[in-house]
């Protein structure tokens, strides 16, 4: 087929040359003049035809015309968002899929359109929590790579994002790092690379990657990505500032709503349900399709005692965005009200959804492990989470594994994992609660009391089931013994005494001891955590409102 087309092009070129030369001969020669000029023109035409035909035959195969941009409207909006690393609405992405699918049916060698189609399928799956789109995304991206196997960076980056969506963070890192080795200034590679590093518990790698992203790219999407890294390091004020800027820099309602949802999630983690509720409602006003805000509003509503409203919002959220973690949260909300039958219904739906995700290449091991540890077989949870921890040793997996081990009767080993999770820098009430319960089981009452207080200080509403238990456990432990800590012989250390200079000396000694302790704590954390990245493009902190 391609050879026949090439020969037809060569014939057409020869005919064009002949006609051109003939016309030239007629223009430059008298109508009744000698035929020599015409003969020379014919010879030139034949030579030119042979030459042009030869060039056509030795040229590489034409990959075909590139697709024109979609007409202004939903598909064009989605194309701008997808190629710009920003979220797009489900309706717009669906229009883009229809547009590019029609084009590649008649232009199968347009590798760029195949890559766009694959990215659109991926975005459609993520936006609707529908993993059935992931095999279609992979098929289109692989097709793009078949057409252009080398330096097809857009398809490779999209495959890395697809691996993240399937929770295969190791594969995502490999793909993104491969692109970075060849084209380190391609900013679109950094969002999937950062997500992969976070999924693998590589805080240092994520910090360096986000710093590079902010050097290469301004705007809402980059700031939202930076905020996630700051949050993972426990730098909540920096994360809050970055998200405020992300909202201000958003260029579409969908993008602004996504930043508002992230800001709501951060406020929720800080134990501020009223502030979280305000951001979720703002997100829904901005983009009624921001269904993640419905789940966030349900979470905040439950914390504020609006459990009927919370149930309604959860049901609305899972109807259009059936993420496994939302099903688990809804089941636990029913459980906290003593509605065990309703809770079991949603736990069963969670397992069905995870099985469907698994058939589409998605690994839901983390949420399944959390479910099994508290509501199913703790030993099955340990087996599942140990495998997940070896593949993706993130703080979230570390915490879940430690808790599952405690539930399965392996408290000492479980405490080792729980400590690593809380020491990672992530400020999580759930992590602190899990560590506290394991410490109490092992007779470490002082440490248990401290971590229960940390959990309730971080977020006193962190779980409708576990937060009340944390308060009960703290009450049961009571206040620490009077007189302060005892030495190795069981004696209470003598309190500092004296007045005037002696009292001042004692105060200075205490302050020095506290400072030394703080420095020691910072030093030990500094060995684990990377240097704090700062946005390169946004305004300096002193200039921020």
Q: How confident is the model at residue 403 (pLDDT cuts 50, 70, 90)?
A: very high
Predicted local distance difference test score (pLDDT) of residue 483: 60
pLDDT tens-digit map of 57-97 = 333 344 556 777 776 778 888 888 777 777 888 888 999 99
Q: How far apart are CA 279 and CA 226, in angstroms?
A: 19
Q: How far apart are CA 286 and CA 252, in angstroms?
A: 9
pLDDT tens-digit map of 100-153 = 999 999 999 999 999 999 999 999 999 999 999 999 999 999 999 999 999 999
pLDDT tens-digit map of 471-497 = 999 999 988 766 655 555 555 555 444
**Residue holding tokens 């962190």?**
462
pLDDT tens-digit map of 195-245 = 999 999 999 999 999 999 999 998 999 999 999 999 988 899 999 999 999
**Tokens standing for residue 152:** 């097809």
Angle at 355 between CA 463 and CA 347, to 5 degrees: 30
**Residue holding tokens 């890559």?**
115
Greater confidence (432 vs 84) lies with 432
Centroid of chain to Cα 100: 25
- What average pLDDT does the chain have? 82
Q: How far apart are CA 243 and CA 260, in angstroms?
A: 8
| For residue 521, pLDDT beyond 60 | no
Q: What's 128's DSSP letter?
A: T
In this structure, the number of other CB atoms found within 10 A of the CB of residue 319 comes to 10
Predicted local distance difference test score (pLDDT) of residue 107: 95
Residue 248 and residue 278 in contact, taking contact as beta carbons nearer than 8 Å: no
- Reported pTM: 0.77
| For residue 17, pLDDT beyond 70 | no
């Amino acid at each position: 087929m391609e050879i026949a087309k090439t020969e037809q092009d060569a014939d057409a070129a020869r005919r064009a040359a002949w006609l051109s030369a003939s016309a030239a001969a007629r223009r430059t020669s008298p109508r009744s003049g000698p035929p020599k000029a015409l003969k020379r023109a014919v010879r030139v035409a034949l030579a030119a035809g042979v030459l042009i035909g030869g060039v056509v035959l030795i040229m590489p195969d034409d990959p075909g015309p590139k697709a024109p941009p979609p007409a202004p409207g939903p598909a064009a909006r989605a194309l701008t968002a997808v190629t710009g690393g920003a979220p797009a609405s489900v309706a717009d992405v669906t229009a883009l899929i229809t547009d590019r699918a029609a084009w590649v049916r008649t232009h199968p060698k347009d590798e760029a359109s195949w890559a766009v189609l694959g990215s659109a399928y991926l975005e459609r799956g993520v936006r609707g929590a529908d993993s059935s789109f992931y095999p279609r995304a992979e098929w289109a991206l692989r097709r793009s790579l078949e057409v252009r196997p080398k330096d097809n960076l857009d398809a490779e980056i999209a495959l890395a994002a697809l691996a993240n969506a399937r929770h295969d963070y190791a594969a995502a890192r490999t793909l993104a790092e491969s692109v970075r080795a060849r084209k380190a200034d391609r900013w679109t590679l950094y969002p999937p690379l950062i997500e992969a590093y976070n999924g693998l518990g590589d805080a240092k790698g994520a910090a360096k990657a986000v710093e590079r992203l902010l050097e290469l790219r301004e705007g809402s999407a980059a700031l939202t990505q930076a905020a996630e890294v700051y949050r993972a390091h426990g730098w909540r004020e920096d994360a809050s500032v970055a998200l405020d800027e992300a909202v201000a820099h958003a260029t579409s309602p969908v993008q602004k709503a996504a930043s508002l949802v992230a800001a709501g999630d951060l406020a929720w983690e800080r134990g501020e349900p009223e502030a979280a509720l305000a951001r979720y409602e703002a997100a829904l006003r901005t983009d009624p399709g921001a269904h993640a805000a419905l789940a966030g509003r349900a979470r905040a509503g439950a914390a504020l005692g609006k459990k009927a409203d919370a149930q309604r919002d959860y049901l609305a959220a899972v109807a259009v965005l059936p993420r496994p973690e939302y099903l688990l949260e809804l089941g636990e909300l029913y459980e906290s009200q003593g509605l065990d039958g309703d809770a079991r219904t949603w736990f069963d739906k969670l397992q069905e959804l995870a099985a469907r995700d698994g058939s589409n290449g998605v690994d839901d091991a983390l949420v399944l492990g959390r479910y099994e540890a508290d509501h199913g077989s703790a030993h099955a949870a340990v087996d599942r989470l140990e495998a997940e921890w070896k593949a993706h040793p993130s703080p979230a997996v570390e915490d879940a594994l430690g808790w599952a081990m405690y539930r399965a009767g392996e408290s000492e080993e479980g405490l080792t994992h729980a400590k690593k999770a809380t020491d990672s820098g992530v400020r999580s009430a759930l992590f602190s609660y899990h560590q506290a319960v394991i410490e109490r089981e092992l007779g470490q009452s002082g440490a248990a009391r401290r971590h229960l207080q940390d959990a309730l200080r971080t977020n006193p509403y962190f779980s409708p089931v576990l937060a009340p238990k944390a308060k009960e456990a703290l009450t049961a432990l009571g206040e620490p013994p009077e007189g302060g800590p005892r030495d190795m012989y069981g004696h209470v250390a003598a309190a500092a005494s004296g007045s005037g200079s002696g009292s001042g000396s004692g105060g200075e000694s205490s302050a020095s001891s506290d400072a030394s302790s703080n420095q020691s704590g910072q030093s030990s954390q500094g060995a684990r955590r990377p240097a704090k990245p700062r946005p390169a493009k946004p305004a300096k902190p002193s200039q921020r409102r």
